[in-house]
Chain A
């Protein structure tokens, strides 16, 4: 019986530091370990004793790629603790800022991290030599996402304008309207991106995922909704910890989440697309139909298409928000004093999937305990399952081709290792 090891010491084109090791005995995969060697930073520990109002800026620093997600989940969790509801134009502005982050993050992944895999290039720079028009379009589209974040947030990485209760400054109607033409151009580029991705060659893999995402009664959920799964779970965020738990494995600095009683599950674009397709905007649904993409998509290699459809959605939704915007009287709602011990939980949809925060506050408003579950922690175990099935189907490949296939299978889920380490290196061992 032959023994093989596939090993990648430092995964490229993922956010953060990780590795993979796969051990194969004959035609059976013995062990898959997605290792996260990104050093731990202990956010949940040092949040204790900080004021609740500090959480959005501090937790943003968990991830430079999706800071808005951290700002949004922390604001919503704090508002739940304080018994405050934010509606009207402030709520819409939050969605608009989040759309900016979805555009920036999805387009970064599509063109700079994921597309080179399908076309056989080490990176977007080399891709640009043979496909200059596509890469330039990708960069221009990404720039629109960043510009939207800068307009609303002051800058694209760690925006400064978000606070519990709303914003420090609400933009004027004219400031937002002035941005509309850029979004209209971007909408066409996003549709062209989906068509470009539809021409790629997708390896065969169909996975039986349990999809988990937020679901809102009308909207494609970003900030609000119930947590639902494709296997019938439907809960509010404050019951998240009753149904999902984090486990700690020896080879990783990240915690892995499981759905209690059923194991690994998937959050992110494939989950949202499967659960919330009918809430997508008209042009997003239409481009999905045009390229033959119908829910559920169970081939993770096709996630690049779903990110493209979600980018179309985020742009269309941004235009809708801008067209209906009226400037609020105050940029934030008033917050009541914290007089008793309170708890607040919230989940929002980061580009990579559900991001859960829970805070316990002491009277006076200092944080007593913080719990943060990042999308990549939730997907980590499910990525290992993808890898196990993929390797078993691909044993005929030589080491180099198999290693390449494994790395691609990881990048399918756009793992953010910085987030998960509160994650990754590829080793495949064949025995």
Chain B
């Protein structure tokens, strides 16, 4: 196939750790095949070659935290036929959305000696708060399996098979012993969307929610169970305030617990 006939792939970065776009380069067995099927037209972390848009498939990593980035994502949307957000920062605002709950002026002074040099919005928000998003891959980081499924589905012109079950379902499938029930280890598996392969319970720890809220979660029941296994309320609140803190269902749970403790 001549290069011009290949669909154009772009990868864009907003506020993030680079881990999700690194997942593209971590596809050691598939990378050259992907580059054979798609023209990598704009991917600054991987190539100095930049082809102007429009792009057929744009993967967007990171959250919007500056006025310039709020402008840039609209420009990228206008240049993208299909736009997919990848990872917790892009889909929910990421760990940096903790600032949505704090005084950013104070944050700036706490980290930077010359806060007047720093330009930042008061909030970290997901891409979908700014532009329409066609599909999202959850996770902190995303799953490589789901990434390959996304690209394959795009090339086959079908909807990606990305289940929205809870981590509990993956745990059962993997044959893990339930760390919450059997060991009393605090675990967010019941309220967290599948996709990681239930790795935390497989390593004898509780899920910490990095794939974000499962669509039909039962927040009060989860909070009750965590209390039952001995997690204090302020700790439960922090448990919901990590990499998907700004995802509305997790946010609602954490706000229902109250603000008194640190």
Contact = CB atoms under 8 A, between A and B. Distances in A.
A69 B205 CA distance: 21
Interface string B4-47: 00000000011111111111011011011001000010001111
B44 A10 contact: yes
A26 interface: no
Interface stretch (A175-183, A196-204, A246-254, A266-274): A246-254
Interface string A415-430: 0101000100000000
A157 B22 contact: yes
B146 interface: no
B22 A64 contact: yes
B99 interface: yes
A67 B19 contact: yes
Interface in A93-145: 108, 112, 116, 122-126, 128, 135-136, 139-140, 142-143
A416 B202 CA distance: 31
A348 interface: no
A401 interface: no
Contacts of B31: 125, 139
Contacts of B203: 154, 160-161, 167-169
B44 A157 contact: no
A63 interface: yes
A157 B23 contact: yes
Contacts of A16: 13, 18
A146 B29 CA distance: 12
A59 to B, nearest CB: 10
Contacts of A386: none
Contact of A45 (B20, B110, B200, B242): B110
Interface residues of A, number: 71
A248 B48 CA distance: 29
A123 B47 contact: yes
A405 interface: no
Contact of A255 (B21, B112, B208): B112
A188 interface: no
A61 B235 contact: no
Interface of A: 10-17, 38-46, 48-51, 54, 57-58, 61-65, 67, 108, 112, 116, 122-126, 128, 135-136, 139-140, 142-143, 146, 154-158, 160-161, 163, 167-169, 246-250, 252-253, 255, 331, 366, 407, 416, 418, 422
Closest 6 CB pairs of A and B: A64-B19, A123-B47, A122-B49, A12-B48, A45-B107, A143-B28
Given A13-B45, A39-B15, A250-B117, 16 more contacts: A13-B46, A13-B48, A15-B22, A39-B120, A45-B106, A46-B107, A49-B262, A63-B17, A67-B19, A139-B28, A142-B28, A167-B203, A168-B203, A169-B204, A252-B117, A253-B118
23 contacts: A11-B44, A12-B47, A12-B50, A13-B48, A15-B18, A39-B66, A41-B96, A46-B98, A46-B107, A54-B238, A61-B95, A67-B17, A67-B19, A125-B32, A139-B31, A142-B26, A155-B199, A157-B22, A157-B23, A161-B203, A169-B203, A248-B113, A255-B113
